[in-house]
Amino acid sequence: MHLCSCEIALGGDIRNTVVRGETDPVTYPEVALLRLVHGESSVTNVEVVGEVNRDPGEEKKRLATIYPVPAVETLFPGTKPPMETEDRNFKKPAAKKKAAPNKPVSEDKDTPFGDTTE
């Protein structure tokens, strides 16, 4: 399940926003619930920042402790709710190649200023 950072306009009011970042992310299903509670366009700048291994049923129980239960039930009905757990548009960054080790500098060369390295 993806963990996301985002900006939330509480009640759809862009003058009253909350930013959830890498240190306190929301789950991807939580983004959908926040949009239901605060308005479709109230959740912006959604970016995947991590992952957590959590069953949809467990996630529903967690969300029901934070958000109004009727909203949670509307969006995620049943004990095994249908739930998008990952952002389909997210592409994992390519693995970075390790840089080749630096070659040792010859000590008998001049410095850029014409001085020797003695």
Question: Is 44 a residue whose pLDDT tops 60?
Answer: yes
Q: Is 115 helix (H, G, I), strand (E, B) or coil?
A: coil
Q: Average the pLDDT over 3-23 and give the result.
A: 94
The pLDDT, as a whole number, for residue 80 is: 84
Asked if 71 and 63 touch (Cβ cutoff 8 Å), the reply is: no
Confidence of residue 90 (pLDDT cuts 50, 70, 90): confident
Asked if 17 and 44 touch (Cβ cutoff 8 Å), the reply is: no
Question: Is 116 a residue whose pLDDT tops 70?
Answer: no
Q: Average the pLDDT over 80-106 and give the result.
A: 70
Asked if 59 and 82 touch (Cβ cutoff 8 Å), the reply is: no
The pLDDT, as a whole number, for residue 109 is: 55
Q: Average the pLDDT over 22-32 and give the result.
A: 95
The pLDDT, as a whole number, for residue 70 is: 95
Q: Average the pLDDT over 75-81 and give the result.
A: 90
Question: Is 33 a residue whose pLDDT tops 60?
Answer: yes
**pTM of the model as a whole:** 0.74
Domain positions in the chain are 2-75
